[in-house]
Amino acid sequence: MNCGQDAEKTYFTKDCTLKNTKKTLAAICLAAISAEPLSAQHTNLGQIDPATMLETYPEFGQSLQRAVVGVPAALIEGDADFFGYYEDLANLTFVEGATAPVVVYMHGSSSAFEEVDGVPGLKWDYAYADWLTEAGYVFVAPDAHAIGERPTYSSPVPKDVYETISAIRQAEIAQAAAALSQAAFLAPGEMYLLGVSEGGHAAARYSGREFKGRMILSWSCEPGYMTDFAKVGARSGDPVLNIVGYRDFYYGRNAPFSTGYNNTGNCANYLSAGNYGHSKVVIYPTADHGISYDQYIEGDLLGFMTYWVGRTPE
C-alpha cells in the first residue's frame, strides 16, 4: 500500500508510506501499520516476550541467527579470533572450560553490517566488534534488518511507529540474552548490553536482569521525538555508562527534533534521580550523533569494561 510520496522525503513503515512536508508530518495511513496499532501508553516499556514477535514476524529468529559475532582466539581451537554469524558458532570447537565476558550490541536504525571477502562484520565506522573481541570479549550483534517484514522508517515519524520498533528491539535483546545465558563460554555473571542510537534507546529501556552492566551511546534517556516514556530499565545498583555528543542532532540539548522538551542531551538527570550509584556520563563537546567516529570511544568503552569485569557492584 502506498499512501503518498513527497519529492523531498518519503518515510516507510511496515504497510504504508508516510508523507512529510516542510510544515507538517501527516500520518496518511498510520492505522495500516497493524490491525491493532501499538500505543505507547500500553506498551511494556522494558521487556517483550520474543514469542509474541514470532507470531507477528515469522522470521524474527533470524535477528539472532544472523547476528554478527566475534569470538576471542582463547576460547576456540586455533590461533585467531573468529568473526562470523551466530549460526556459525555450532561449527566451532570451544576450549573446554574456557569462558569470557559477553557483550550484546544493539545497532542503530540503519544497517550496521557488511561482508568483506565473505567475512561478516560491522561497517568501518562501527569497529566495536574488533575492539571488544581483540580485548577478550565475546561480541554478539543481533541484526534487526534480518527480520522479514520488519517496519522501517526515516525520522521523524509518529511515536506509535517508534514504539512498535522499540517493542521489536526489546524482544531481540530478550531473545539474545536467553540464548547466551545458556552458553558454556559465558563467564558467570559477566554479560553486558551495549547500544547505539535506536539501539541505545533499547539498551537503556530493557528491564531484564541478565546483564551486569550496560553502555548507552548516542541517546539521552529523555523524552523527545522518539518517545514520551524515557526510562532506564537497569537496577539502580547496575553499572551504567552513557556517552553522547554535545552536538547530537537527534538527542542533544538543542536537537531540532526535540524542541520544546527542555532536555539536557544526556542521561545524567535520569541516572541521578534514580540513584544509579555506579553510573558514568561522558560528553564529547564537539561530537555529533556519530560518536562511533570519536577518538576516545574505544578507550572509554574498554575502560568501563576493564573496571567492572570481575568486580562486584556494592
Residue 120 has a pLDDT of 61
69 and 7 in one domain? Answer: no
Residue for cell digits 553502555? 215
170 and 64 in one domain? Answer: yes
67 and 4 in one domain? Answer: no
265 and 148 in one domain? Answer: yes
Residue 12 has a pLDDT of 29
Question: What digits encode the pLDDT tens for the residues 190-247?
Answer: 999 999 999 999 999 999 999 999 999 999 999 998 898 888 999 999 999 999 999 9
140 and 61 in one domain? Answer: yes
Report the CATH number that the domain containing residue 208 is assigned in CATH: 3.40.50.1820
Range of the domain at 4: 1-37
- Joined grid coordinates for residue 197: 542510537
Residue 25 lies in a domain: yes
Lowest-confidence region among 113-122, 175-184, 267-276, 279-288: 113-122
∠ at Cα 293 (288, 297), nearest 5°? 95
Report the candidate in 131, 118, 273, 287 with the shortest Cα–Cα distance to residue 197: 287
Three-state SS sequence of 184-237: CCEEEEEEEEEEECHHHHHHHHCCCCCCCEEEEECCCCCCCCCCCCCCCCCCCC
C-alpha 84, offset from chain centre: 19
156 and 7 in one domain? Answer: no
Residue 47 has a pLDDT of 78
pLDDT at 36 exceeding the cut of 90: no
* Percent with pLDDT over 70 in the chain: 81
Residue 314 lies in a domain: no
pLDDT at 150 exceeding the cut of 60: yes
Work out how many domains the chain is built from and give that number.
Answer: 2
pLDDT at 42 exceeding the cut of 70: no
Question: What digits encode the pLDDT tens for the residues 62-90?
Answer: 999 999 999 999 999 988 999 999 999 99
pLDDT at 302 exceeding the cut of 90: yes
Average pLDDT over residues 182-190: 98
- Average model confidence (pLDDT) across the chain: 83
